[in-house]
């Protein structure tokens, strides 16, 4: 192989020339550039509104936080979740245009214990009436015993129940006192209990 012909095209080399002729069809020939498609779209570049995007994102986050904080803070007109105290505000009036001073809010205590532990309506007996005004009075002034409202309530209800129980049993006892036939039966039950 003639190196001079290969690199500098000087002299001749029939073997390389033969290969050149064989590949002649693929030789570079300058032609016109390819045409663009008939329709072209030119996109207008809009100025980016980055500040607006950031602003919207920030406002959304701030709104979410504000709503969360609103629900976390207890409000005057809301019902407290533990149902211990229910606050009732003034009711809105319809079609009443005169400005009136707002009505005072009333707090209604709701009992925490099991459903309807006691219902008393127009109690006839004096002892039952007195249950509404029960108050604890410590006997030992040097070591006064203090009670919570719940304790006072529970104690009052227990005493009321025991009083009624005892009074009803007293009816039976008084009747039995005048009836000799029933005494052995009662004694039998009493002995069974004492065992």
Partner 1 sequence: MRSLKFILFLALALTPMAVNAQNAKLHFDKLNGLETKARDVVEVNIDGRLLDVAKRVLAKMNDQDTKKVAQAISGLQAIYVRAYNFEKEGEYNVADVDEIRTQLSAPGWERLANVRSKKNNQKVDVYTMFEGDKMSGVAVVVSESKSIAVVNVIGPIDIDLLAELSGKLNIPRIDIETDKKSKDH
What is the binding site for partner 1 (CB under 8 A)?
Answer: 113-124, 126-131, 133-140, 145, 147, 150-152, 154-155, 157-166, 168-173, 175-176, 182, 185-186, 189-190, 192-193, 195
Smallest separation, CB 122 to partner 1 (Å) = 5
| Shortest spacing between CB 83 and partner 1, in angstroms | 15
Half-sphere exposure of 158 (CA within 13 A, CB side): 6
| Rounded Cα gap, residues 134 and 138, in angstroms | 13
Residues in the chain: 195
Residue number with CB closer to partner 1 (104 or 178): 178
CA dihedral angle for residue 155, residue 158, residue 160, residue 163, rounded to 10 degrees: -120
User: What six digits make up the tokens of 187?
Assistant: 């004694």
> Looking at beta carbons only, is 4 or 83 nearer to partner 1?
83
Minimum CB distance to partner 1 smaller for 61 or for 161: 161
Count other C-beta atoms under 10 Å from residue 3's C-beta. Answer: 9
HSE (side-chain half, CA atoms, 13 Å) at 192? 6
Report the nearest approach of partner 1 to the CB of residue 178 (Å): 11
Cβ nearer to partner 1, comparing 54 with 155: 155
Least Å distance between CB 184 and partner 1? 12
Joined together, the tokens standing for residue 23 give 């590949």
State the nearest-atom distance from the C-beta of 162 to partner 1, in Å. Answer: 5
Greatest CA separation found in the chain? 157
Q: CB nearer to partner 1: give 60 or 113.
A: 113
């Amino acid at each position: 192989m003639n190196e001079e012909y290969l690199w500098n095209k000087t002299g001749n080399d029939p073997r390389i020339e033969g290969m050149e002729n064989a590949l002649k069809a693929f030789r570079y020939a300058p032609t016109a550039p390819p045409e663009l498609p008939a329709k072209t779209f030119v996109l207008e570049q809009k100025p980016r509104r980055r500040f607006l995007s950031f602003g919207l994102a920030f406002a959304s986050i701030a709104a979410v936080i504000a709503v969360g904080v609103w629900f976390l803070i207890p409000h005057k007109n809301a019902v407290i979740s533990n149902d211990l105290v229910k606050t009732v505000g003034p009711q809105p009036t319809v079609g009443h245009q005169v400005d009136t001073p707002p009505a005072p809010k009333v707090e209604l205590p709701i009992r925490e214990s099991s459903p309807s532990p006691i219902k008393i309506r127009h109690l006839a007996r004096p002892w039952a009436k007195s249950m509404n005004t029960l108050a604890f009075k410590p006997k030992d002034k040097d070591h006064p015993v203090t009670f919570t409202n719940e304790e006072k309530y529970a104690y009052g209800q227990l005493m009321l129940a025991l009083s009624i129980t005892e009074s009803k049993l007293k009816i039976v006892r008084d009747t039995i006192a005048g009836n000799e036939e029933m005494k052995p039966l009662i004694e039998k039950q009493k002995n069974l209990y004492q065992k």
